[in-house]
Structure 1
Amino acid sequence: MPPQMLSPHDAAALVQPRDTIGLPLGPGQPPALLQALGERDDFVDLRVAGALLAVGTELFSRPGVHYLSGFFGPFERALRDQGANISFAPADFRRFAPLLRARPPRVMVTAAAPPDADGWCSLSLHAGGTIGELVLAGEDPDRLLIVEAGDGFPQTFGLAPEHRHALHVDQIDVLVRTPSAPLALPEAAAGDVDEAIAGHARRFIPEGATLQTGIGSIPSAIATRLATDEGGGYGLHSEMFTDGCMRLHQAGKVTNRKGHLDGVSVTTFAFGSQELYDWLDGNRDIAFLPVEVVNAPEAIMANRDMITINGALAVDIHGQIVADTIGGAQFSGIGGSEDFISVPGLSVAQRSLVCLPATATVDGAVRSRIVPWFEAGAVVTTPRHQVDVIVTEFGAAELEGLTVHQRGKALAAVAHPDFRDELLEAAERASRGHSPVA
């Protein structure tokens, strides 16, 4: 049955004052529809579940609207600081789909590319954890599926027939055609510290490795180094596809003979510059697959020489990592980092690199990101037993198999020199299983 063709305003009017909405993460969010919803002021109890907002809208500042986020970005942090009704649900990316299934929203929405000649709307920059619930909402007469087909959203592909990465117009209740485009992020510029970290990380990446990278200046510096260095034959199996991933392709360094899903770079969402979005449009070298496929441990393990590259905010001498909070306050989210940090440790040939600058400046004071122990209220993202390599601008500390004492010494060696003595003292106290706390 063909969908209703409505304007953003008329589609937004179908949401009830008391209702529930499910949103994709970031670049899967429909811009014009969310902005139209933000123009309404009659909500009594609207509950919206999503993650990593990528659309500016007044919706989440309105009375009667509660936003439950699985991943904070700049928009979420601003809403929290302004006193909006926003909550954080600790969950890794693979849990998004079952959480939606357990409490299915009445309304599911998504951005997509315009329909092709056969009526298929590519889900563009996001597969993630919502595709199953989008389909179920379209099949259920008591639920509502609204798709905003934006002219600026690139057409991307999955792996047919099981993962087509598209919705047919006959599956959609309401189709909204707009000129909208996804939020574009400028490519992060790498500084001297980033370049130094990239240099230390580079020695862990063999020719022909399969790579996973995140967003930011450090992964960008590593990808740029790989694109310009000798060597190549890389595969890409990464939750997020970035400008750095594109640069590797453009440099001819990607062959994707990785032993699992060969021939394509595998991802579940893309976020980056307009150049990246233009490059992805119509590009069948990239396969967008659901997060439960991309981040599955068995899929990660199946890749040849999997090398994962992720970030952190702080590390203690046990090797525990804080990656999504600052002083106990939510900064980002768990995402898929745990999958890509923990799984490589199950194989000798696979390595997990956690990269971070050795220091941070807080209120004008330089502080070490490698600390003897975390203060009260800190929220650990990654437990110590899952951590392989910590990389800073001062070197790389390989932690697997080391005692707490040895870990402390290895981490002190890659900390800023001004903070090494206190780390070594804490490591000495931690000898033979004692506490590092004075």
Structure 2
Amino acid sequence: MATAPSQHRGEKSGIDWRAQLGAKLVAADEAVAHIKSGDRVCLSIAQQTPFELCPALAGRLMELENVVVNHGAAVMNWDLPGLGERFRLESMYLSPYDRAIYHRGAADFTPIVYYRAGHLPPALDNFNVYLMTVSPPDEHGYCNFGEAQIMSKLLARNADLVIAEIDKNSIRVGGDNSIHISEIDYFVERTTELPEIKLPQPGEEEARNIATVCGMVAKELIPDRATVQIGVGSMSGMLCNHLLNHHELGMQTEIIPLHTAPLVEAGVLTGKHKQLFPGLVVGAGIAPLTPREELDFIDGNPAFALYDFNTTDDIRFVAQEEGLISINNAMAVDLTGQTNGESIGPLMYTGTGGQTAFVVAACLAGGKTVIVVPSSSRVQGRRISRIVPVLDSGSVVTSPRGFVHHVVTEYGIANLKGKSIRERINELVAIAHPDFRSELRAEAKRLYKV
């Protein structure tokens, strides 16, 4: 996997990158004028959303017909005139910006659960236009994908029209995280200053539960020298704060979680014992809302590397990381260990991401899988159990029960590996919220005859 030349941000380098781009540097309206009726347009995700190009494209959608817009983890509200008539919206991962559109049936969700290095997954392999965000080019003409590569290089190389929005504040991260200006048709300079969004702070009960669960996982399930994958989420995403007393950990993940940088800086996360990319923290992107000071530490730091999602989440590849520990979130876990990490009943809430791939890979690698979940939540003032007799009708099974080794709530750790249904039920009821344990046991007897 080739690594393109890397350096710090273009604005700091003194390079006249605008002159370097020449006639390829155009206004956003001019760039999207090349999109035509019948095109299938894909956009880079989350914090790498092209914020200048999105409104420019939106302004053209009433002029076009039969256009598909695919935007995963969108930071853009696509609830626009013409939705469902002149253009169709698709996603493989919902966000707070577009969840309501999908819930009312005005857009299409496409499940994607497996990845092969070097290949776009089905449903993303047929787009002819790609809009993305990149850094200014370096002196060799390479733009960096910054905080999130995900599938940008493959999507760009498979598209007929590639438009890149330049973010002058972009960091540069190593790995396979750059693309040459010769592979991009048009560039647009971002002129809008984006507001700084702070990470939402949990309530008192949620914060206490997060601290308890992460503390147990760190102490009981992650030994020194382990290599971990940590999923994005309000609970697992806080795990790094609890690993500062560990030694010589490694990280082979999909999205590099919050507060990873302090672990590298403190010498905790060394990657010394990794089989894959020893010495490196590897992912396909960095968690959204990572604090600026952490991004500044990652910027140009040779300890971090980003690769294509189809590489980082290829089960065949990840399973080579012997002893890998996979830690992920859940919406709900049933009494046999089936885990729903992405939907509320049949309605999608987020998407599969890499959870399925990593729990399978960790098992094949002889490691362990950990699902973290609060025992209960409050919904419209009513407490509900997150440990349930059966998953709600239509719920997605993100992690099949045979691949779930441990489930952790604030009440303890359930060990499911190698256990019978009866034993699994006993383990899971024991870590459920006390208000629901009697009900769960009664339902277990009715449903599972145990």
Please confirm whether the aligned pair reaches a TM-score higher than 0.5, indicating the same fold: yes
Residues 211 and 183 of structure 1: is their aligned pair in 2 closer, same or farther, counting only changes over 3 Å? farther
1:69 matched to 2:91: yes
| CA displacement at 1:304 relative to structure 2 | 4.6
1:79 matched to 2:96: no
Within a 5 Å distance, the mapping from 1:156-195 to structure 2 comes to 156-158=173-175, 163=176, 165-179=177-191, 186-187=198-199, 189=201, 191-195=207-211
2:423 to 406, 411, 415: 406
Within a 5 Å distance, the mapping from 1:330-345 to structure 2 comes to 330-345=348-363
Residues 320 and 26 of structure 1: is their aligned pair in 2 closer, same or farther, counting only changes over 3 Å? same
Residues 347 and 273 of structure 1: is their aligned pair in 2 closer, same or farther, counting only changes over 3 Å? closer
Q: In structure 2, what is the Cα distance between the partners aligned to 1:352 and 1:184? A: 35
Question: 1:201 maps to what in 2?
Answer: 217
1:319 matched to 2:318: no
Q: In structure 2, what is the Cα distance between the partners aligned to 1:284 and 1:194? A: 31
1:7 matched to 2:27: yes
C-alpha contact 1:307 1:344 (8 A) present in aligned 2:
yes
Residues 205 and 124 of structure 1: is their aligned pair in 2 closer, same or farther, counting only changes over 3 Å? same
1:309 matched to 2:327: yes
Which moves more between the two structures, 297-306 or 353-362?
297-306
Question: 1:268 maps to what in 2?
Answer: 284
| CA displacement at 1:179 relative to structure 2 | 3.6
Q: In structure 1, what is the Cα distance between the partners aligned to 2:156 and 2:341? A: 30
Matched pairs, number: 418
What amino acid maps onto 1:288 in structure 2? L
1:283-312: CA deviation from partner (whole Å, max 9, x where unpaired): 221111011211122332332532111100
| CA displacement at 1:401 relative to structure 2 | 0.8
C-alpha contact 1:185 1:273 (8 A) present in aligned 2:
no
SS of the equivalent of 1:128 reads coil
1:21 to 34, 41, 54: 41
| CA displacement at 1:399 relative to structure 2 | 0.6
1:352 to 353, 358, 369: 369
Question: 1:286 maps to what in 2?
Answer: 304
1:259 matched to 2:249: no
Residues 325 and 100 of structure 1: is their aligned pair in 2 closer, same or farther, counting only changes over 3 Å? closer
Q: In structure 1, what is the Cα distance between the partners aligned to 2:449 and 2:149? A: 44
1:89 to 92, 110, 119: 110
| CA displacement at 1:130 relative to structure 2 | 3.7
SS of the equivalent of 2:90 reads strand
Question: 1:140 maps to what in 2?
Answer: none
Q: In structure 2, what is the Cα distance between the partners aligned to 1:396 and 1:184? A: 37
Which moves more between the two structures, 118-127 or 330-339?
118-127
Which moves more between the two structures, 329-338 or 41-50?
41-50
| CA displacement at 1:60 relative to structure 2 | 7.8
Residues 375 and 241 of structure 1: is their aligned pair in 2 closer, same or farther, counting only changes over 3 Å? closer
What amino acid maps onto 1:299 in structure 2? F
SS of the equivalent of 2:122 reads helix
Structure 2: runs of 5 or more not aligned: 1-20
| CA displacement at 1:2 relative to structure 2 | 7.0
Which moves more between the two structures, 90-99 or 12-21?
90-99
C-alpha contact 1:394 1:416 (8 A) present in aligned 2:
yes
C-alpha contact 2:425 2:444 (8 A) present in aligned 1:
yes
Q: In structure 2, what is the Cα distance between the partners aligned to 1:53 and 1:168? A: 25
C-alpha contact 2:102 2:109 (8 A) present in aligned 1:
no
SS of the equivalent of 2:39 reads strand
Residues 282 and 298 of structure 1: is their aligned pair in 2 closer, same or farther, counting only changes over 3 Å? same
Residues 45 and 118 of structure 1: is their aligned pair in 2 closer, same or farther, counting only changes over 3 Å? same
1:119 matched to 2:141: yes
Q: In structure 2, what is the Cα distance between the partners aligned to 1:400 and 1:42? A: 56
1:47-104: CA deviation from partner (whole Å, max 9, x where unpaired): 01231102356668755121110011111214335x583110111262782325642x
2:316 to 298, 301, 305: 298
| CA displacement at 1:279 relative to structure 2 | 2.9
1:419 matched to 2:436: yes
2:232 to 201, 207, 215: 215
Question: 2:74 maps to what in 1?
Answer: 53
Structure 1: runs of 5 or more not aligned: 138-142
Residues 61 and 279 of structure 1: is their aligned pair in 2 closer, same or farther, counting only changes over 3 Å? farther
C-alpha contact 2:114 2:357 (8 A) present in aligned 1:
no
What amino acid maps onto 2:148 in structure 1? H
| CA displacement at 1:221 relative to structure 2 | 3.4
C-alpha contact 1:35 1:58 (8 A) present in aligned 2:
no
Q: In structure 2, what is the Cα distance between the partners aligned to 1:56 and 1:91? A: 22
Residues 167 and 33 of structure 1: is their aligned pair in 2 closer, same or farther, counting only changes over 3 Å? same
Residues 291 and 44 of structure 1: is their aligned pair in 2 closer, same or farther, counting only changes over 3 Å? same
1:332-373: CA deviation from partner (whole Å, max 9, x where unpaired): 00010101122222344x111100000011232111111112
**Fraction of identical pairs, as percent:** 26
SS of the equivalent of 2:239 reads helix
Which moves more between the two structures, 1-10 or 210-219?
1-10
Aligned-residue CA RMSD (Å) = 2.5
C-alpha contact 1:39 1:59 (8 A) present in aligned 2:
no
1:99 to 111, 115, 122: 122
| CA displacement at 1:214 relative to structure 2 | 2.2
What amino acid maps onto 1:212 in structure 2? Q
Which moves more between the two structures, 278-287 or 260-269?
278-287
1:38 matched to 2:58: yes
Q: In structure 1, what is the Cα distance between the partners aligned to 2:196 and 2:317? A: 29
2:261 to 237, 241, 246: 246
What amino acid maps onto 1:149 in structure 2? I
| CA displacement at 1:185 relative to structure 2 | 5.3
SS of the equivalent of 1:72 reads coil
